[in-house]
Chains A and B, each alone.
Chain A
Amino acid sequence: MGVLQELERLASNFGNLTWQMVVMWVIGGVLIYLAIGKKMEPSLLLPMGFGAILVNLPFSGAVTQGEIVGPITALFEAGMSNELFPLLLFIGIGAMIDFGPLLEKPWLMFFGAAAQFGIFFTFFLAGFFFELPDAASIAVIGAADGPTAIFVANVLHSRYLGPIMVVAYSYMALVPIVQPPVIRLMTTRKERRIRMAYRKGSVSRVERILFPIAVTIIAGLVAPASVALVGFLMFGNLLRECGVLKSLSETAQNVLANLITLLLGLTVAGQMTADRFITPQTLLILGLGLVAFVFDTAGGVLFAKLINLFLPADKKLNPMIGAAGISAFPMSGRVVNQMGLAEDNQNFLLMYSVSVNVSGQIASVIAGGLLLTLMGV
């Protein structure tokens, strides 16, 4: 009798299982499959997928239950509620980026600005369905940049952090599927075949060193709320460019970035509890995320077409490069190059598209900061 009662006690937690939790296990399983089977952002999706299962067990000890603090909740308090994890990750990302090609042709940065249109358009659209802080957080999915999305959603205390993260990283991984139809719709075959000759310029070491400092000062003066984001990104880049901290730069690019991504994945999974995730709002966020990516792409392409109106026939730009202005680096730059080659196997757009793509990284961070400023942060 005692054994039976003990077994019954052990099995009692099964009764607390809900179908929503099981759905979250499936979502966690899909994330793990995408990470392992499809190699999509594995360092992030694997911990996120596993974490989604971990926190969706009835009375999971991984998250705080009553008085007992769970480790994932503790991680959230230590690194997310104060935005530390996304900022530290930005040091690693900054150390990975070579701004050299962009510094050779600074005018390409304007395409990065134009391709942030999706963020602001989605803010307008999401405002009809969500309170403004949540609408702004959802809009930043269009930054195509995970840390920026986390940072903004956290600062604005959005209750949709989990869905926003999942949607942002999903669309970033789906850039090769989302962007080409939009680009084709916005351009003619003749435009897609425009060749752009590339002449390599030179960039001095002093310029490479001063660039991250100058960007931090300018962005900080205009959008002080973004200065932490821009500053950490640019600090990472300064580590890379200074030339005297090679091993530190490599550590930031590899060890730091990987470690923080792992902790970030687990911590975000803490926000993916069934009660927060299985809601109609999540589906709406999924739709709005797609709108953000589509309008980012369209904004960049239309801006290039606008510039072309004022250029002589032999100097026309291939409008596809505008689409690379979304931040998803380097996928977007590669997609544009591949589309150029698909139309004409001698049409190499890579140097332009990657430069625009890098500028999108800066512009998306600034757009996130501007949005925070507009929200009165």
Chain B
Amino acid sequence: MQFVLYADSWRKTLPAMGTGMLGIFAVIGAIVCVVYLLARLTRKK
């Protein structure tokens, strides 16, 4: 197998890097909000 350099791959991977990190924070943020909500709704009085 030979090495090939994909010099212009950054055009796709760089935006994907940004979108990916943004996406993971968005999903985790949503989960955190739901957990706080669940805690509030199920807290024993």
Contact = CB atoms under 8 A, between A and B. Distances in A.
A129 B5 contact: yes
Interface string B2-17: 0111110110111011
Contact of A129 (B3, B26, B29, B42): B3
B31 A207 contact: no
Interface in B1-45: 1, 3-7, 9-10, 12-14, 16-17, 19-21, 23-32, 34-36, 38-39, 42-44
Nearest to A275: B1
A120 B42 contact: no
B24 A374 contact: no
Contacts of B24: 113, 116, 363, 366-367, 370
B38 A210 contact: yes
Given A124-B13, A206-B42, A280-B1, A119 B20 contact: yes
Contact of A109 (B5, B26, B32): B32
Nearest to B35: A106
Chain A interface residue count: which class? 35 or more
Q: Is the interface of A mostly helix, strand, loop or mixed?
A: helix
A73 B36 CA distance: 47
A211 interface: yes
A123 B30 contact: no
Contact of A204 (B6, B10, B13, B43): B43
A132 B16 CA distance: 11
A203 interface: yes
Q: Is the interface of B mostly helix, strand, loop or mixed?
A: helix
Contacts of B32: 106-107, 109-110
A370 B1 contact: no
Contact of A371 (B20, B25, B35): B20
A254 B33 CA distance: 33
A222 B30 contact: yes
A371 B21 CA distance: 10
A123 B38 contact: no
Contact of A214 (B1, B14, B26, B31): B31
Interface in A193-220: 202-204, 206-207, 210-211, 214-215, 218-219
Given A106-B32, A204-B44, A218-B31, A113 B25 contact: yes
A281 B39 contact: no
B9, B25, B32, B34 pick with most chain A CB within 10 angstroms: B9
21 contacts: A103-B39, A106-B31, A109-B35, A110-B28, A113-B25, A116-B20, A120-B17, A123-B13, A127-B12, A128-B5, A128-B7, A129-B3, A129-B4, A202-B44, A206-B42, A207-B39, A211-B38, A214-B31, A223-B27, A281-B3, A370-B20
Q: Which 4 A-B pairs rank lowest in CB-CB distance, beginning with the nearest?
A: A127-B9, A127-B13, A106-B35, A113-B28
